[in-house]
Structure formats: C-alpha cells, structure tokens
C-alpha cells in the first residue's frame, strides 16, 4: 500500500457553509478549531472564507480576506501547514504572504485567470479541482456522457494551464470535485474509478466529507450524522493510494485509514496515530 493519505482539516470561516456555517466565524473560534483539528492529527488545515455549497452567493474579496488572513497568520505562526481555500488571485497572494503553503482553488483557475500566474512564482502548491460554474448555477452543468473520462479530461486541461503559467507539475494536486456539478451517481462513479486519477501521476485530493450524496444514501441524514460514511470513503481512498482527504472531522478518518493499511498489508497492524 502507498503512504497513508494525509488528512486536510476544514476550517470554514463563513456564516453559510453547508455543514458548519457560522460555527467558526470569529477569529478566536476559527483558530481554536484549527488547533483542535491539528491536535487530532490533521496534517494540513484548509482555511476558507467563502462558502461553495450549492446555491451559495459569492462574497466580496475584502470580506473574504478579512475572515481568513488573521486565521492563516495565527495557524501558520504555530508552525502548521496551512492551505487557503480561495478562487481569487488577490486572496491567494495575501494568504501566501501570511504563511499559507497551499492554494486550494475549487475552480481550478477558471474563476480568476490571474490566480495561476499569481501563484506560480511563490513556490506554493496548488489544488486544482474539477469545476464548471459558480455555486449558484453549478448543478445546471451536471451533464456528462462519461463522467470519469470528461472530468479527467477537463482536470488535465487545468493541469496544462497551470504548467503553462509556470507551476511545476510536482506542485500540482488534482481533485475530482465531488458534488460540484455532479449528481450522486456521478460522485459514486468517480469514487469507483480513483485509479484513473491516480494514473495521472499527480497527487489526488478527495473531498467527500459530509456531502449531500452521503446524506441521500443514508435516508436524508443531516451533515452531522455523515462522519462514519465519510470515514468509509477515507478508507477507500487509502486503499487506492490517494494522497489526501479533505474532511470536517479527523480522528475517525485516521482510524479508518489505519484499518485500511492493516487490511492491505499482510502481517501489519499499525497503531492509530491518534490517542
């Protein structure tokens, strides 16, 4: 089995994110939550100030930056590996200046054409997610003939754009974008063929945490009751060599990843890295 996936813990500094909107909106609450995620074993904290839930409206750049930059500075000051979840070049640049080492762009550089050339000279890694439209209209674009082939083709086009902008391939992480312009069956189809994404040679990040397709599978269970299902997907990702999983909760994910490692490696029963 390849190295176990890293866990990227989510810090939403927003009032309207689908799972935890408003829970960590203040500076103190967001920093405390980031520190809890790290204490639980997260390798990276991903700080975002703009909700990308289906139907969400955008916020002004100044408001996004007011939310995230102090939190990034505090967590990076602790020595944490911090990612900024943003589609804006200006926010990405400001976040890197405050210590962010990864730019997680859910639009893959499509929402702001300046983002990729802005990130290129900084040395920061970049997550390019598959994306077709902003949250308000994205489900209008959930049409595919072959979802795996089309998502992969569109992702590789964004990879090529990043390389053309001056970002070295080893700095690029690809994310199939579960839930973004996807139906539940599209999401399951992508998860069944993670090998196709692994074959690109890039690190792969999967963000399934508490998403709607899990709630639908579990008889419309609310987001707070989807962590066990999320952990099952984390184990699946581990078995497929995925580089990282982006989650709201850390301990159960690490436990599931440890079980996957034990099952896939004869004679090995690793201890959990948490408590």
Q: Which two tokens stand for residue 214?
A: 């899990």
Pair 131, 139: CB distance under 8 Å: no
> Hey, CA dihedral for 159, 164, 169, 171, is it positive or negative?
negative
Output the pLDDT for position 211.
Answer: 94
Catalytic residue chosen out of the listed positions 246, 251, 268, 271: 246
Output the pLDDT for position 134.
Answer: 75
Active site (annotated) includes residue 58: no
Cα separation, 153 vs 171, in Å, equals 19
Output the pLDDT for position 248.
Answer: 95
Beta bridge partner(s), residue 85: 48, 104
Mean pLDDT for each 10-residue chunk of the chain (275 residues)?
88 73 77 97 96 78 96 98 98 98 97 98 98 76 91 98 98 97 96 98 97 94 94 97 97 97 74 46
Q: Are strands 172-175 and 6-12 parallel, antiparallel or unpaired?
A: unpaired
H or E segment and range at residue 206: strand 203-206
Output the pLDDT for position 249.
Answer: 96
Output the pLDDT for position 137.
Answer: 72
**Helix 227-239 vs helix 251-264: angle between axes, to the nearest 10 degrees?**
40
Cα separation, 101 vs 224, in Å, equals 29
Largest Cα–Cα distance in the chain? 54
| Contact residues for 262 (Cβ-Cβ < 8 A; gap 6+) | 268, 269, 270
Query: What length is written for the chain?
Result: 275
Q: Which two tokens stand for residue 228?
A: 């066990």
Active site (annotated) includes residue 246: yes
What are the C-alpha distances in Å from 198 to residues 43, 123, 144, 171, 192?
21, 23, 21, 15, 12
Query: Which residue, among 259, 211, 212, has the nearest Cα to 236 in the 3D structure?
Result: 259
Q: Which two tokens stand for residue 21?
A: 């909107």
| Contact residues for 142 (Cβ-Cβ < 8 A; gap 6+) | 181, 182, 183, 186
Pair 59, 78: CB distance under 8 Å: no
What are the phi and psi torsion angles at 264 (to 5°)? -95, -10
Output the pLDDT for position 272.
Answer: 47
Beta bridge partner(s), residue 48: 12, 85
What are the phi and psi torsion angles at 84 (to 5°)? -105, 130
Name the burial class of residue 27, with classes exposed (0-12), middle (13-18) and buried (19+) by CB atoms within 10 angstroms of its CB: middle
Catalytic residue chosen out of the listed positions 171, 211, 226, 251: 211
What are the phi and psi torsion angles at 67 (to 5°)? -70, -45
């Amino acid at each position: 089995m390849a190295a176990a996936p890293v866990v990227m813990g989510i810090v939403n500094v927003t009032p309207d994110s689908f799972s935890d909107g408003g829970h960590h909106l203040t500076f103190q609450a967001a920093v405390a939550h980031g520190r809890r995620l790290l204490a639980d074993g997260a390798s990276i904290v991903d700080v975002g100030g703009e909700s990308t839930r289906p139907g969400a409206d955008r916020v002004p750049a100044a408001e996004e930056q007011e939310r995230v930059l102090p939190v990034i500075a505090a967590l990076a000051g602790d020595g944490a590996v911090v990612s900024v979840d943003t589609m804006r070049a200006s926010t990405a640049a400001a976040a890197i200046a405050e210590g962010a080492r990864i730019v997680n762009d859910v639009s893959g550089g499509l929402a702001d054409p300046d983002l990729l050339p802005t990130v290129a000279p900084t040395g920061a890694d970049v997550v390019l997610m598959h994306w077709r439209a902003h949250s308000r209209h994205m489900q209008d674009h959930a049409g595919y003939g072959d979802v795996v082939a089309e998502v992969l083709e569109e992702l590789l086009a964004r990879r090529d754009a990043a390389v053309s902008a001056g970002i070295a391939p080893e700095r690029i992480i690809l994310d199939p974008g579960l839930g973004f312009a996807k139906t539940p069956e599209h999401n399951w189809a992508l998860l069944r063929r993670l090998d196709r994404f692994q074959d690109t040679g890039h690190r792969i990040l999967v963000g399934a945490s508490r998403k709607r397709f899990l709630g639908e599978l579990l008889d419309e269970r609310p987001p707070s009751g989807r962590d066990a299902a999320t952990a099952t997907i984390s184990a699946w990702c581990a078995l497929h060599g995925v580089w990282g999983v982006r989650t709201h909760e850390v301990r159960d994910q690490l436990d599931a990843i440890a079980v996957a490692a034990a099952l896939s490696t004869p004679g090995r029963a690793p201890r959990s890295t948490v408590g």
